A = this chain, B = another copy of it.
C-alpha cells in the first residue's frame, strides 16, 4: 500500500511535527508512515484523511495485494 501523506502535507505547508500533533500521534509515527515502514491503523488513516479533507481511498492507494 502506498500513501500520499508527504505530498499532501507539503501541499498544506505542514511539518511532520504539526501533522503529528493534529493526529495526536508522535512524529516517529508520521515518519514511519511517510517512509512506508508500516501502515496506519484505520482510525489513524481516517484522522489523516480528514485533516486533508479527503477520503481514506484518496490518501491511501491500495494496489493489488
Residue of B nearest to A3 (CB): B42
By the criterion of a CB under 8 Å from any partner CB, how many residues of chain A are at the interface? 14
A1 to B1, CA, bound (A): 22
Contact code string A35-65 (vs B, CB < 8 Å = 1, else 0): 0000111110110000000011100101001
Q: Which of B39, B40, B57 contacts A55 (CB 8 A)?
A: B57
Q: Is the CB of A1 within 8 A of B43?
A: yes
Q: Which of B40, B41, B56 contacts A56 (CB 8 A)?
A: B56
Residue of B nearest to A46 (CB): B62
Which residues of A does B touch, CB under 8 Å? Answer: 1, 39-43, 45-46, 55-57, 60, 62, 65
